[in-house]
């Protein structure tokens, strides 16, 4: 039973019987009553004054009276202007709590037989992952988890950008300056090694340009004539011609990078079900372009290049195939999407977790897919997220102001460890237990910090603040869970029978407890709405609310401890639910919760 829906239905009935006005109950908005007022749910009557033909107060009074006598849930009400505040009966709260207790997999829906695909990460193989990738991965992974909790069958994918001129740059630099260095010989992670030579290329390339300008060559020409640049271009040509030597080098270096990435993903706690490689998909899509041409969706210019005219949709003309017949990003994205739906038919959604600098690209991509006649194009969604800024400004790889993902995670864990030791919280922990705790805390802090902000908004990452363990942070919520676990252990020691149904009966409820039951029972609804809006931030906020509410409750409990055991019994029962709810909420976000700390 869902209290909110029951009340919505009752209101719908009241509108029909009192005023002869028919409204579907889903369309009747109920909101939580503000703390200053008496009540749990508030119904705004302003929009219905036209049908009631009465003042706001009289309208609220009528509906309130109707609900009080006709609804099992509403025990009382009050009217303030156009706001009808409804008080829910204690019995309803107790029933709700019992209901929640009985639900085994609370917060998780059974399989609905539908499937979705979520893409995230999708890095280049010429440099290591950075802070932006962390936001991307955590978002994508959370969304996948949220879908799973909603009963979907989820396929997690990424497309690895493993070809192109930028990869060749690393390769050229390694060949010329590497001296045969390998991850094994240098002790560097594979992705770090590739990144090192990508930077090296840029440095040497700049030197060459400077030298050429010195000889009187204009800057633009120097950039195109620098020997290193020509070599990289030549390497790309050889790669495309499947030159054995180049291909071997490419395979080797990418292999190193993948080993490095795997370590990073493992530390982050994200996984993938299927990997796509651009080297295998970059030729896809040409066929689709041909079909589009035949259908007249696309048009060809005299030079042979293929375009689509999107001016009617408020966009511009977009290139789909160059005059020399080579593909552009758009071409391969069209091909890859088609391929994915061939391979995994019947997906309800395909979510692309990609930064908002690609907003335009995806708008065009989805429009093209639709114009090509693919029904599933409507299910394509760009989960667009804003850039992560640093207090010092924007991250720029060329200026070396990039925050490396591995370094950052290590730093977070390190700080968590230092802080925990300082507080003397780990007495009696083994070395490995302590390390696990630091990992949980450090990464939990990082994940929560990156997920609590609305994805589409640009956010500021302050390393100092992210490491804070107070306020609206992951560790605060984790800590709350650990405290609840401690209470439950204590209750078991005292042999409190919190499993018995009877301990819930005839106990007067405190306001605090109703708030808690309200929050807990609302939980699945929040997940449902989050899955529609793709908002891990909704769940993050929810977990924090719950933890905060619980801490308030905890403060009362301390004062209250000595009174009669029935009440303690109910509170323990609540603790159990709070713990369970926090745990599942954090699980959706991909954040671990320790039992002890």
User: Hey, which residues between 542 and 581 contact RNA (CB under 7 A)?
Assistant: 544, 548, 551-552, 554-555, 557-559, 561
Judged by beta carbon, residue 147 or residue 469, the one nearer RNA is: 469
Judged by beta carbon, residue 231 or residue 333, the one nearer RNA is: 333
Instruction: Give the range of 114-122, 163-171, 178-186, 465-473 binding RNA by CB under 7 A.
Output: 465-473
Judged by beta carbon, residue 80 or residue 587, the one nearer RNA is: 80
Q: What's the DSSP call for residue 485? A: H
528 binding RNA? (CB under 7 A): no
301 binding RNA? (CB under 7 A): no
305 binding RNA? (CB under 7 A): no
212 binding RNA? (CB under 7 A): no
Q: CB within 8 A of 377, min separation 6: which ones?
A: 366, 369, 370
Q: Taking the complex as a whole, how short is the minimal distance between the CB of residue 372 and RNA, in angstroms? A: 21
Q: CB–CB of 123/160 below 8 Å?
A: yes
Neighbours of 157 (CB within 10 A): 24
Q: CB within 8 A of 186, min separation 6: which ones?
A: 193
479 binding RNA? (CB under 7 A): yes
291 binding RNA? (CB under 7 A): no
Q: Taking the complex as a whole, how short is the minimal distance between the CB of residue 523 and RNA, in angstroms? A: 17
525 binding RNA? (CB under 7 A): no
362 binding RNA? (CB under 7 A): no
Measured over the CA atoms of residue 312, residue 314, residue 315 and residue 316, the dihedral's sign is positive
Judged by beta carbon, residue 37 or residue 70, the one nearer RNA is: 37
454 binding RNA? (CB under 7 A): yes
Q: Taking the complex as a whole, how short is the minimal distance between the CB of residue 494 and RNA, in angstroms? A: 9
Q: Tell me the three state secondary structure of residue 520.
A: helix
Measured over the CA atoms of residue 233, residue 237, residue 238 and residue 242, the dihedral's sign is positive
Phi/psi at 75 (5° precision): -100, -25
Judged by beta carbon, residue 10 or residue 537, the one nearer RNA is: 537
Q: Distance (Å, rounded) from C-alpha 393 to C-alpha 4? A: 45
Judged by beta carbon, residue 395 or residue 405, the one nearer RNA is: 395
Beta bridge mates, 116? 154, 349
Q: CB within 8 A of 36, min separation 6: which ones?
A: none
Q: Give the DSSP H or E segment for 20.
A: none
Pick the binder of RNA from 434, 459, 509, 587 (CB under 7 A).
Answer: 459
Determine the size of the site formed for RNA (CB under 7 A).
73
Pick the binder of RNA from 165, 210, 460, 532 (CB under 7 A).
Answer: 460
Within 338-357, the residues that bind RNA by CB under 7 A are: 356-357
| CA distances for 176 relative to 171, 179, 544, 587, angstroms | 9, 7, 53, 47
Q: Tell me the three state secondary structure of residue 227.
A: helix
Q: CB–CB of 551/230 below 8 Å?
A: no
Within 87-146, the residues that bind RNA by CB under 7 A are: none
Residue showing tokens 């897919």: 369
441 binding RNA? (CB under 7 A): yes
Alpha-helix runs per DSSP H in 178-313? 183-186, 190-214, 219-225, 227-240, 244-268, 278-281, 286-295
Q: Taking the complex as a whole, how short is the minimal distance between the CB of residue 539 and RNA, in angstroms? A: 12
Within 38-97, the residues that bind RNA by CB under 7 A are: 39, 42, 44, 46-47, 80-83, 85
Pick the binder of RNA from 456, 509, 510, 528 (CB under 7 A).
Answer: 456
Judged by beta carbon, residue 124 or residue 155, the one nearer RNA is: 124
Q: Taking the complex as a whole, how short is the minimal distance between the CB of residue 61 and RNA, in angstroms? A: 14
The HSE-up count of residue 413 (CA atoms within 13 Å, CB side) is: 16
Neighbours of 33 (CB within 10 A): 19
Within 363-422, the residues that bind RNA by CB under 7 A are: 386-387, 394, 416, 419-420
Q: Taking the complex as a whole, how short is the minimal distance between the CB of residue 397 and RNA, in angstroms? A: 13
């Amino acid at each position: 039973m869902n209290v909110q829906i029951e009340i919505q239905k009752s209101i719908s009935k009241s509108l029909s019987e009192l005023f002869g006005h028919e409204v579907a109950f889903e369309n009747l908005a109920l909101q939580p009553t503000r703390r200053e007022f008496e009540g749990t749910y508030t119904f705004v009557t302003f929009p219905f004054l036209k049908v009631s033909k009465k003042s706001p107060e009289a309208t609220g009074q009528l509906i309130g009276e109707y609900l009080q006598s006709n609804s099992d849930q509403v025990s009382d009400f009050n009217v303030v202007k156009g706001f009808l505040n409804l008080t829910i009966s204690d019995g309803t709260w107790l029933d709700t709590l019992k209901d929640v207790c009985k639900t085994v997999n609370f917060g998780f829906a059974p399989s609905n037989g539908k499937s979705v695909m979520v893409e995230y990460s999708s890095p280049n193989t010429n440099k290591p992952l950075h802070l932006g990738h962390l936001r991307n991965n955590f978002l994508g992974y959370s969304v996948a988890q949220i879908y799973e909790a909603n009963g979907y069958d989820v396929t997690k994918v990424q497309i690895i950008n493993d070809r192109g001129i930028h990869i060749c740059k690393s390769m050229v630099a390694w060949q010329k300056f590497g001296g045969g260095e390998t991850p094994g010989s240098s002790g560097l992670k594979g992705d770090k090694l590739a990144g090192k030579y990508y930077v090296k290329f840029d440095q040497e390339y700049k030197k060459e340009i400077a030298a050429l300008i010195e000889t009187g060559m204009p800057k633009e020409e120097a950039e195109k004539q620098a020997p290193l640049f020509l070599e990289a271009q030549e390497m790309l040509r050889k790669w495309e011609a499947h030159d054995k030597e180049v291909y071997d080098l490419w395979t080797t270096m990418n292999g190193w990078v993948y080993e490095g990435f795997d370590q990073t993903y493992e530390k982050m706690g994200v996984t993938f079900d299927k990997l796509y490689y651009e080297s295998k998909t970059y030729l896809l899509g040409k066929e689709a372009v041909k079909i589009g041409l035949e259908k007249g969706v696309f048009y060809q210019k005299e030079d042979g290049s293929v375009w689509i005219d999107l001016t009617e949709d408020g966009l511009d003309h977009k290139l789909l195939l160059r005059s020399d017949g080579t593909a552009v990003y758009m071409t391969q994205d069209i091909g890859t999407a088609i391929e994915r739906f061939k391979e995994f038919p019947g997906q309800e959604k395909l979510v692309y977790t990609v930064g908002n600098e690609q907003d335009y690209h995806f708008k065009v991509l989805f429009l093209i897919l639709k114009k090509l006649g693919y029904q599933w194009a409507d299910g394509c969604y760009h989960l667009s997220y804003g850039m992560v800024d640093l207090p010092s400004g924007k991250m720029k790889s060329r200026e070396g102001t990039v925050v490396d993902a591995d370094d950052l995670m290590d730093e977070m864990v390190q700080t968590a460890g230092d802080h925990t030791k300082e507080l003397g919280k780990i007495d009696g922990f083994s070395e490995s237990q302590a390390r696990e705790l630091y990992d949980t805390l450090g990464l939990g802090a990082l994940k929560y910090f990156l997920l609590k902000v609305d994805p589409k908004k640009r956010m500021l990452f302050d390393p100092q603040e992210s490491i804070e363990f107070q306020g609206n942070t992951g560790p605060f919520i984790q800590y709350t869970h650990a405290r609840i676990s401690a209470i439950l252990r204590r209750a078991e020691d005292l042999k409190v029978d919190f499993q018995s149904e009877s301990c819930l009966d005839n106990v007067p409820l405190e306001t605090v407890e109703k708030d808690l039951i309200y929050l807990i029972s609302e939980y699945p609804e929040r997940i449902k709405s989050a899955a529609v809006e793709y908002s891990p931030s909704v769940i993050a906020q929810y977990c924090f609310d719950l933890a905060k509410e619980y801490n308030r409750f905890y403060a009362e409990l301390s004062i209250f401890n000595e009174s009669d055991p029935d009440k303690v019994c109910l509170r323990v029962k609540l603790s159990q639910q709070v713990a369970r709810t926090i745990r599942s909420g954090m699980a959706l976000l991909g954040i671990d919760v320790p039992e002890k700390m």
